[in-house]
Amino acid sequence: MLGWARPYQRRLLAGDVSAGVIVAMMMVPQAMAYAMVAGLPPVVGLYASIVPPLLYALFGTSMTQSVGPMAIISLMTASSLAPLAVPGSALYGVLAAQLALMSGGLLLLCAVARVGFLANFFSRPVMSGFTLGSALLIAWGQLAALLGTGAPHALPIVPMVSSFAGLSVHPASAAFGILSALALLWARRSLASLLRRAGLAPGAASIGARLAPMLVVVVASAVVALAPGLAAGVATIGAVPAGLPTLNLATASSYWSALLQPALLIGFMIFLISMSSAQALAQAGGRAGDEPAPAPVKPAANLELLGLGVANIGSALSGGLPVTGSMSRGAVNHAAGANTPLASIISAALLALALVAPTGYLALVPMPTLAATIIVAVLGMLELETLRTALRYDRSDALALAGTAGGVLVAGVEAGVVIGVLLSMGTLIWRASRPHIAVLGRIAGSEHFRNVERYPGGTAPSVLLLRVDAFLFFGNIDAVSARIDDELAARPGLRHLVLVLSAVNAIDTSALFGLADINRQLAARGVLLHLAEVKGPVMDRLKAVKLLESISGNVYLSTANAWDALTKA
Amino acid sequence: MLGWARPYQRRLLAGDVSAGVIVAMMMVPQAMAYAMVAGLPPVVGLYASIVPPLLYALFGTSMTQSVGPMAIISLMTASSLAPLAVPGSALYGVLAAQLALMSGGLLLLCAVARVGFLANFFSRPVMSGFTLGSALLIAWGQLAALLGTGAPHALPIVPMVSSFAGLSVHPASAAFGILSALALLWARRSLASLLRRAGLAPGAASIGARLAPMLVVVVASAVVALAPGLAAGVATIGAVPAGLPTLNLATASSYWSALLQPALLIGFMIFLISMSSAQALAQAGGRAGDEPAPAPVKPAANLELLGLGVANIGSALSGGLPVTGSMSRGAVNHAAGANTPLASIISAALLALALVAPTGYLALVPMPTLAATIIVAVLGMLELETLRTALRYDRSDALALAGTAGGVLVAGVEAGVVIGVLLSMGTLIWRASRPHIAVLGRIAGSEHFRNVERYPGGTAPSVLLLRVDAFLFFGNIDAVSARIDDELAARPGLRHLVLVLSAVNAIDTSALFGLADINRQLAARGVLLHLAEVKGPVMDRLKAVKLLESISGNVYLSTANAWDALTKA
């Protein structure tokens, strides 16, 4: 906690200040837009951009992470609350904060239970597919606001498509929306190089280009203010209450159990998204002009859980919504010079100032423009490199990616998380169920035994040495048993089977029972089962359940011992 | 299909006939009781004991499996249908058959997709915990019928406990129920040894004891018939319509989507329960007095999916409920002499005969007695050996077992399946995230390289050989990366890192990106990354994505080649 603050060096300050200012400018339209994705008033997004980053600065792990509202988490919030309350109602706001509270509480529980390894429940292709599906769903969901059709929020995609039938486009709104989108797309493609040619340093130019959403929002609001005739009938954000968030302790007591499953899924995705953002930032390495950086600090999963848990509870208590670390803001923060979490503290302070100052100008921001910033931002999340690589490299991973993306689009974002976990685990179980098993032979004139497929080695008709190169568990013990059956069928003279466990780090309870079954079946066929090179920790456990006494053969320290004893016998 | 029928030898007939008769006698009370657990009229259980075993005999894999209604699957059926229809209503019966149809269809789909490896989604401790929780839930659910309190069916356990408050026990019903239960418990404990002492062969005695439920049901029905005064107010089964099941094509078209998730979970459990029963039967080995058996045929998962899929569709078309292979009936079938599926065909034919004959006598079976047979049967499913072993052997497996059992009891049997999958996968991911990684050293005067912790071997300050003993995937690539960081921190003079991939059977897409990250980070610190002993199939894939060209170092055929080239350089 605050490990960075004690030895704070003044040379870091300039970078932290400039990053704080730039992220704050990026955050204003983004926070309002992502509150809109969640079905909440824009000011709620601003509230969630003040307290959570402050708390994450105190408790989190990443130096340059930017915690706040994030598109996918907002989508999940909307999809969880849709069956429970009407967007815009007081209950809806209470439930959004309650969801942040519960997600935060679950993340804290996970931190205490030290189950950070849960981040490994999603493979990279599945995460990529989940992001792809969610981004399309978010973009699609904002089309109505972009075109001013006033279609209801409806998820997932099938009812959403049908909800468009019979709606008519509002021309002025569509003009605002489409022009804003075109401006943003142009800025993404060309603004950085234009700024470079105008004389800015490459780093500054690319940061400048990231402020395009702020600029577009300001220009569009100015048009509304100066030419109200042009903007007739265009929805705007409307009055944003001035003042800092106040302490929110409201909860709807009859909704705890209905929110439990959404809170679990949202908490899980908050963790995954923030971890992958923190990892990317740790790997980003030094910026041009920096002194050589020390080895990057890799994010510690359990500490990250703690920081995110506290940040979400803070968001709930200040009337916000579930938050997480955002890759796009984190990257800007890093690129703009952030050295420590002081940058986040500065940007939170600036957002607080913006709320204390008169907020009347925010009321003029046209909704179609905000929708355009969301659509362009999530289209930027579409990362196709993983899909391209997986297609060439491993079809099953490409299938898992497509299955997760399709699951999100067809069954919704919550079902998509479950589908993603199942597909990650499915590919894992499928691969793990084919462990590498080698028949060993003796290298002539030595004590060494190697895979006979790669080194010609001595074997004996009555003794078979099998080495399994995987820990033994419920998913591969049947494969080991089947391989033994095959070897036995091919070796009628076999009397001794030696399992060489030099690469077996662990044997789970299922595999323990499996070994006992293998022992029994071998005995029924007149073959003795021996073990060799059992590792210390594995040996200790096997002794506790007396497996070593119950097997028909012996336990040998080394393969050579087993070989000598059994071939001479 | 019918592979056993062509070479059918007459010497197998006696065993098949006696097993067919005995299983039929065991099946009558069991089928009616498990229909009751599912909230269906008893006759539905009898229907589901005719067509499904016939179809399984044609399409299934196990020689002695007994397919029909089963306690846990009936519990899942009841829990799935409870929110959709009132037990006893026509809609409820239609939905039960529709659930069997959908589960069967999904099982067939899985057979076609050849995804039999899905059986590996449950570890043995989790399966044991699931059975434990379900058995307690079933026993608890039958208490009301046993005591005649008339409490409503309510699952899971929390509402069930509260539903008992304020209900009063019906003395005559309780007398029937408790006496039946005591008789059954006594029979389980002592009948087999009593029959042995009376001169029966041990095998015959234990089979005789398994017919106790039939005997108790007959005696209780006789009491109802002969002394109606004693049985006043005791609920009985009531009229069972005579006649064979007719073709049922009724479905409730608005319920397809509501039944999809239950059908998935039930289909999954049908498969798991039947596979573990078939595996146990395959391992059961020879009976006393048999000729030496050939090597047992291990159940082929994809064929088992086919047999179960067809059996469940058959159950639906004959107006039944979801069915699976039952361990307890399978064991009796095997012990009673069944050699081939002909035994199942005979018992199905006998049940059909029983339905064609007058069925008036079935009407008198008292419900408390049927409840007693269920309670005693499921208490027999409580297998504590796995828990005992896991407690001594591996706490995390014991925890997974207890967590699954608790999940079933608190959150219900459907949530229990999901919790079980997550706990199985959690223990797997946790173990897999700690792969075995060895630093290799050269055995003096040879071309061999071994783990330096076990064999003193030559090393060099500028070259590090690391062998990873696991396939590389999303769950362990971060651990590999962290280990490399540790080794680098301990070896300031390092210039070359060689990853020896001799035990790496596969590298998934996530690990591929992870290797690219490792390469980049090593390069930033002035260390070259080399690969050695890459397996053929792995090499082919890596070539497809040009990883081998992008790494900073070289690819060596053998560790010795790498060592020679790098230490001489």
Least confidently predicted of A134-148, B170-184, B302-316: A134-148
Q: Which chain B residues are closer than 8 Å to A285 by Cβ?
A: 524
Q: Does B8 touch chain A (CB under 8 A)?
A: no
Task: Give the DSSP per-residue string, A261-305.
Answer: HHHHHHHHHHHHHHHHHHHHHHHS-PPTTPPPPPPPPPPPHHHHH
Q: Which of A118, A475, A503 sits opposite B428 (nearest CB)?
A: A475
Q: Give the model's pLDDT for residue B288.
A: 47
Residues of chain A with pLDDT under 50: 152-154, 288-289, 291-296
Residue with tokens 């709104």: A173
C-beta atoms of B474 and A122 within 8 A: yes
Q: Does A434 touch chain B (CB under 8 A)?
A: yes
Q: Which chain A residues are closer than 8 Å to B432 by Cβ?
A: 120, 428, 432, 471
CA distance A391 to chain B (A): 10
Q: Which chain A residues are closer than 8 Å to B503 by Cβ?
A: 436, 469, 503
Flag whether pLDDT at B163 surpasses 80: no
C-beta atoms of A469 and B421 within 8 A: no
Mean pLDDT of B239-265: 90
List, for residues A423-459, the tens digit of each pLDDT value.
999 888 888 888 889 999 998 877 788 888 877 888 8
- Going by pLDDT thresholds of 50, 70 and 90, the confidence category of residue B372 is very high
Flag whether pLDDT at B484 surpasses 50: yes
Mutate to test the interface with B, among A505, A510, A550 (most CBs of B within 10 A): A510
For residue A390, give the chain B residue with the closest CA: B509
For residue A114, give the chain B residue with the closest CA: B430
Using only C-alpha atoms, chain B has a radius of gyration, in whole angstroms, of: 30
Q: Cα(B266)–Cα(B102) distance, rounded to whole angstroms? A: 10
Q: Which of A285, A481, A544 sits opposite B393 (nearest CB)?
A: A544
The pLDDT mean for chain B works out to 88
CA distance B123 to chain A (A): 5
Q: Does A560 touch chain B (CB under 8 A)?
A: no
C-beta atoms of B470 and A469 within 8 A: yes
Q: Cα(A514)–Cα(A528) distance, rounded to whole angstroms? A: 16
For residue B434, give the chain A residue with the closest CA: A505
Q: Which of A434, A473, A524 sits opposite B428 (nearest CB)?
A: A473
- Going by pLDDT thresholds of 50, 70 and 90, the confidence category of residue B264 is very high
Q: Does A261 touch chain B (CB under 8 A)?
A: no
Q: Taking the complete model, does pTM exceed 0.95, yes or no?
A: no
B540 CB-near residues (< 8 Å, 6+ apart): none
C-beta atoms of A510 and B125 within 8 A: yes
Sheet of strand B463-468, all strands in order from the earlier edge strand to the far edge: B449-451, B437-442, B463-468, B496-500, B528-532, B555-556
C-beta atoms of B469 and A474 within 8 A: no
CA distance A472 to chain B (A): 10
Q: Which of A448, A478, A508 sits opposite B123 (nearest CB)?
A: A508
CA distance A468 to chain B (A): 10
Q: Which chain B residues are closer than 8 Å to A280 by Cβ?
A: none
What are the beta bridge partners of residue A451?
A440
Q: How many CB atoms lie within 10 A of CB A519?
A: 20
- Going by pLDDT thresholds of 50, 70 and 90, the confidence category of residue B120 is confident
At position A13, the amino acid (one-letter code) is L
For residue B444, give the chain A residue with the closest CA: A446
C-beta atoms of B425 and A427 within 8 A: no
For residue B449, give the chain A residue with the closest CA: A448
What are the beta bridge partners of residue B67?
B325
C-beta atoms of A473 and B123 within 8 A: yes
Q: Cα(A189)–Cα(B531) distance, rounded to whole angstroms? A: 39
Q: Does B390 touch chain A (CB under 8 A)?
A: yes
Q: Which of B121, B431, B510 sits opposite A123 (nearest CB)?
A: B510
At position B251, the amino acid (one-letter code) is T
C-beta atoms of A117 and B429 within 8 A: yes
Q: Cα(A28)–Cα(A45) distance, rounded to whole angstroms? A: 9
- Put simply, the chain B residues between 282 and 341 with a CB less than 8 A from any chain A CB are 283, 285, 295-296, 298
Q: Give the model's pLDDT for residue B293.
A: 44
C-beta atoms of B425 and A421 within 8 A: yes
The tokens of B253 are what?
Answer: 């078209």
- Put simply, the chain A residues between 471 and 500 with a CB less than 8 A from any chain B CB are 471, 473-475, 478, 481-482, 485, 489
Q: Which of A124, A428, A517 sits opposite B283 (nearest CB)?
A: A517
C-beta atoms of A393 and B545 within 8 A: yes
C-beta atoms of A389 and B512 within 8 A: yes
Q: Does A395 touch chain B (CB under 8 A)?
A: no
Q: Which of A393, A443, A475 sits opposite B509 (nearest CB)?
A: A393
C-beta atoms of B470 and A473 within 8 A: no
Q: Which chain A residues are closer than 8 Å to B434 by Cβ?
A: 505
The conformation of residue A360, written as its DSSP 8-state character, comes to G
CA trace torsion B153, B156, B159, B165 (10° rounding):
60
C-beta atoms of B429 and A120 within 8 A: yes
Q: Which chain A residues are closer than 8 Å to B386 by Cβ?
A: 509, 513
E-strand spans in A401-477? 437-442, 449-451, 463-468
Mutate to test the interface with A, among B508, B512, B515, B525 (most CBs of A within 10 A): B508
Q: Give the model's pLDDT for residue A291.
A: 47
Sheet of strand A555-556, all strands in order from the earlier edge strand to the far edge: A449-451, A437-442, A463-468, A496-500, A528-532, A555-556
- Pairing relationship of beta strands A67-68 and A324-325 according to DSSP bridges: antiparallel
Flag whether pLDDT at B516 surpasses 90: yes
Question: B250 or A160, which is more confident?
Answer: B250
Q: Which of A118, A120, A393 sits opposite B544 (nearest CB)?
A: A393
Tell me the H-state helices in B38-62.
Answer: 42-47, 51-59
Return the H-helix or E-strand segment holding A111. Answer: helix A90-112
Q: Which chain A residues are closer than 8 Å to B394 by Cβ?
A: 508-509, 541
Mean pLDDT of B187-211: 87
For residue A505, give the chain B residue with the closest CA: B436
Q: Give the model's pLDDT for residue B152.
A: 47
For residue B557, give the chain A residue with the closest CA: A454
**How many residue pairs bridge chain A and chain B with CB atoms within 8 Å of each other?**
175
Q: Give the model's pLDDT for residue A501.
A: 93
Mean pLDDT of B401-423: 91
Q: Does B361 touch chain A (CB under 8 A)?
A: no
Query: Which residue from B87, B206, B147, B525 is spatially nearest to B369, judged by alpha carbons?
Result: B147
List, for residues B413-446, the tens digit of each pLDDT value.
888 998 998 899 988 888 888 888 999 999 887 7
Q: Does A550 touch chain B (CB under 8 A)?
A: no
